[in-house]
Amino acid sequence: MGAHTRLNLAVMQAGILELRAEVARVFGIESLRPFQEHAIEASLAGRDLVLVLPTGGGKSLCFQAPALVRPGLTLVVSPLIALMKDQVDGLRQSGVAAAMLTSAQDVSERRAVHEALERRELKLLYAAPERLVLDGFLERLVALGLCAIAVDEAHCISHWGHDFRPEYRQLGTLRARASGIPVQAFTATANERVRRDIVSELGLSDPLVLVAPCDRPNLTYRVQPRRELLNQIRGVLERHRGEAGIVYAISRKEVERLDAELRKSGVKSVAYHAGLDPDVRRRAQEAFAREEVDVVVATVAFGMGIDRTDVRFVLHAALPKGLEQYSQETGRAGRDGLPAECVLFHSGSDFFSWKNLMERSHEEARARGESPDPAALEGSIERLSQVRNFATRMVCRHRQLVEHFGQAWESTASCEACDVCLAEIEPAPDSTILAQKILSAVVRCEQRYGAAHVTDVLRGAATQNITRTGHERLSVYGLLRENSVGEVRGWIDQLVGQDLLRVAGERYPVLVVSPTGGEVLRRTREVTLYALPPERAPKKGTRQSRRTLAPEAGEILPVDERLFERLRELRRTLARERGVPPYIIFNDRTLEQMAAHRPRTSEEFRAIKGVGDKKAAELGPAFLECIAGGDRV
């Protein structure tokens, strides 16, 4: 090792020590996560970087922490004003000199930021990509001591990502215009293709590429056939009374119906979809951020820019469009690392509703004289089948998701956080024989009927169709007499999901047996179908999980629920007074620590994880009073 390298290493080690101390002082964060440590070291060494870290992994700290200790300004590029505002508010509450420049600010606000820049007072500046291409803007920042550029939500630069934004493409000029300044890219979701795009579009040179495991162990996944949707939703809400959640529905009409029904049953909910007036939409988003409502019922238009970290459940009222979207949407749960639940209700018809919609919009584009890419349509339908398979296979949900994103699932043990591993769903007895019965009913019906008729035949029903077709004389008639309609339909869905049955038909959907289905009939293939035991109460991802401190805390301490609720109320009041969302005051994890440790002095309060110097001084007295029992709220 040369003297020069040794010196660099020593400087960096000193840098890391100083950084840890700053992070503890400012944010009350005592230890860095392994990926944060690597990313921060690269950043301090002035290296280009791509970091893929799942939601809640703590990406922001990777560019905020180096900015605290490095002389000069760090520029953060972000796609949405809401995202920027949240981070800037949060940093300021912790006493960090941060600001943003956006089109939503008035002239005097913008001037104040420019003045602060000229005085070299700022550590972090947030801006949208559009601003960076403005004449001379970036060059001015370089002259004012710009020392690093962080590109947040970097997947937006790639056509292959799920959220391509053309304005991100303009970031390709950063490298040339700010030469020698390290560029670091951050995202929660990027497969290899997207990562390659990020590197080439941003012109990164020999970047360190870090891809953290994409599993989210604090999320418990459950998938259930949709029966009585409203009752099923109420069942989930029952486990999360007073907690934050998102309900995703496919159509605007369904959003409004569900929202109205939930409000009727006393749930504090609000509707959100792209058809609403922008003002109404903004108010809905704010009401959720400020904890004035608990539940948002929304189409997938709702999501980006939601930084509320205490979302305890995400519920899908129908099959999502693909596993990328599913991960993105469920990713909004449990960002604070505490247990959260993701429930998906689906039915066999969801696949066809989506498929029809996709085909129709493809046709409409053609009718308009455009030339839509048939491969894109095929790709969309393929992604749809993947999510249907996810829902109908009896394989650990965590494992399926991790493998879908190209990572290996090493564990052979139960994940203890999905309906399959928790044995909330069980294999139906004699699954293969059951599958053979259903498949042969399809064959006996000459592969010319849909799921409803096949179900009637198997259950020995006496419908007009059966009398007309004479199907009561088939050997399969009444073979599943003991089972309910829901059960038989559920099994048919599962057979379709495993590609043992297919749905074909020009005018109306009919069931046909696939080649692999033929193997089951010839007894050369085994099948597992699951039976849903009626109304079994889930065991995990429920409110009870708050009774003890999160495992990261390294100890098991009971959390005083009543005190926790009082602290939440106080947090809401303080947030309202300051005009910021409550999670910017403290997150749930920090409140839990308070409710478990019950600090009595300001030293004890400062020692709570998540409490930094500035917040301890400003907010400590009110929280200590609340903990001591004197209610301010």
Tell the smallest beta-carbon distance from residue 138 to ligand ADP (Å).
24
Residue 311 to residues 8, 244, 452, Cα–Cα distance (Å): 43, 5, 38
Tell the smallest beta-carbon distance from residue 188 to ligand ADP (Å).
6
Q: How far is CA 415 from the centre of its chain?
A: 19
- Subset of residues 1 to 30 that bind ligand ADP, contact rule: CB under 6 A: 29
Tell the smallest beta-carbon distance from residue 60 to ligand ADP (Å).
3
What number of other Cβ atoms are within 10 A of residue 169's Cβ?
Answer: 15
Tell the smallest beta-carbon distance from residue 65 to ligand ADP (Å).
9
Phi and psi at residue 546, to the nearest 5°:
-80, -10
- One of 78, 498, 587, 593 touching ligand ADP (CB under 6 A): 587
Query: If binding is defined by CB under 6 A, does position 61 make contact with ligand ADP?
Result: yes
Locate all alpha helices (DSSP H) within 239-277, ordered by sequence: 252-264
Stretch that binds ligand ADP, among 56-64, 345-353, 438-446, 463-471 (CB under 6 A): 56-64
Nearest to ligand ADP of 57, 599 (CB atom): 57
Token readout for 28 is 């009350």
For residue 395, the 8-state DSSP code is S
- Number of residue whose CB is nearest ligand ADP: 58
Q: How far is CA 311 from the centre of its chain?
A: 10
How many residues belong to the site for ligand ADP (CB under 6 A)?
Answer: 17
Nearest to ligand ADP of 96, 492 (CB atom): 96
Using DSSP, state whether 33 is helix, strand or coil: coil
Nearest to ligand ADP of 56, 182 (CB atom): 56
CA nearest 574: which of 526, 625, 499, 505? Answer: 625
Sign (positive/negative) of CA torsion 34, 188, 552, 398? negative
Using DSSP, state whether 568 is helix, strand or coil: helix
Sign (positive/negative) of CA torsion 574, 577, 582, 583? negative
In the chain, the N- to C-terminal Cα span, in Å, equals: 61
Distance CA(15)–CA(44), nearest Å, equals 7
Tell the smallest beta-carbon distance from residue 586 to ligand ADP (Å).
9
Nearest to ligand ADP of 191, 389 (CB atom): 191
H or E element: which one contains 150?
strand 146-151
Nearest to ligand ADP of 29, 387 (CB atom): 29
Query: If binding is defined by CB under 6 A, does position 517 make contact with ligand ADP?
Result: no
x/- track of binding to ligand ADP for residues 246-275 (CB under 6 A): ------------------------------
Nearest to ligand ADP of 285, 309 (CB atom): 309
What number of other Cβ atoms are within 10 A of residue 275's Cβ?
Answer: 14
Stretch that binds ligand ADP, among 52-60, 143-151, 189-197, 535-543 (CB under 6 A): 52-60
Nearest to ligand ADP of 28, 490 (CB atom): 28
DSSP string, 489-540: HHHHHHHHHTTSEEEE-SSS-EEEE-HHHHHHHTT-S----EE--TTPPP-S
Nearest to ligand ADP of 283, 572 (CB atom): 572
DSSP string, 63-114: HHHHHHHSSSEEEEE-S-HHHHHHHHHHHHHTT--EEEE-TTS-HHHHHHHH
Tell the smallest beta-carbon distance from residue 53 to ligand ADP (Å).
5
Tell the smallest beta-carbon distance from residue 9 to ligand ADP (Å).
23
Nearest to ligand ADP of 23, 501 (CB atom): 23
Nearest to ligand ADP of 57, 490 (CB atom): 57
Token readout for 624 is 């200590």
Tell the smallest beta-carbon distance from residue 231 to ligand ADP (Å).
33
Tell how many helices (H) and how many strands (E) occur in the chain.
27, 17
Tell the smallest beta-carbon distance from residue 589 to ligand ADP (Å).
7
Tell the smallest beta-carbon distance from residue 213 to ligand ADP (Å).
13
- One of 60, 224, 330, 400 touching ligand ADP (CB under 6 A): 60
Tell the smallest beta-carbon distance from residue 252 to ligand ADP (Å).
28
Nearest to ligand ADP of 56, 620 (CB atom): 56
Distance CA(605)–CA(257), nearest Å, equals 46
- One of 20, 26, 41, 56 touching ligand ADP (CB under 6 A): 56
Tell the smallest beta-carbon distance from residue 147 to ligand ADP (Å).
21
Tell the smallest beta-carbon distance from residue 265 to ligand ADP (Å).
32
Phi and psi at residue 236, to the nearest 5°:
-70, -45
Residue where the block lists tokens 């409409």: 364
- Subset of residues 318 to 337 that bind ligand ADP, contact rule: CB under 6 A: 335-336
- One of 16, 41, 42, 57 touching ligand ADP (CB under 6 A): 57
Residue where the block lists tokens 């920027």: 84
List of E strands, 357-474: 426-427
Nearest to ligand ADP of 245, 331 (CB atom): 331
- Subset of residues 280 to 309 that bind ligand ADP, contact rule: CB under 6 A: 309
Token readout for 474 is 């088939």
Rg (the chain; Cα; Å) = 27
Tell the smallest beta-carbon distance from residue 519 to ligand ADP (Å).
44
Nearest to ligand ADP of 184, 309 (CB atom): 309
H or E element: which one contains 3?
helix 3-27
Tell the smallest beta-carbon distance from residue 458 to ligand ADP (Å).
48
Query: If binding is defined by CB under 6 A, does position 187 make contact with ligand ADP?
Result: no
- One of 55, 224, 327, 593 touching ligand ADP (CB under 6 A): 55
Nearest to ligand ADP of 357, 557 (CB atom): 557
Tell the smallest beta-carbon distance from residue 285 to ligand ADP (Å).
17
Nearest to ligand ADP of 40, 511 (CB atom): 40
Distance CA(21)–CA(413), nearest Å, equals 38
DSSP string, 306-375: ---TTEEEEEESS--S-HHHHHHHHTTS-TTSS-EEEEEEE-HHHHHHHHHHHHHHHHHHHHTT----HH
- One of 20, 59, 155, 195 touching ligand ADP (CB under 6 A): 59
- One of 19, 51, 53, 149 touching ligand ADP (CB under 6 A): 53
Give the residues lining the site for ligand ADP (CB under 6 A): 29, 31-33, 36, 53, 55-61, 309, 335-336, 587
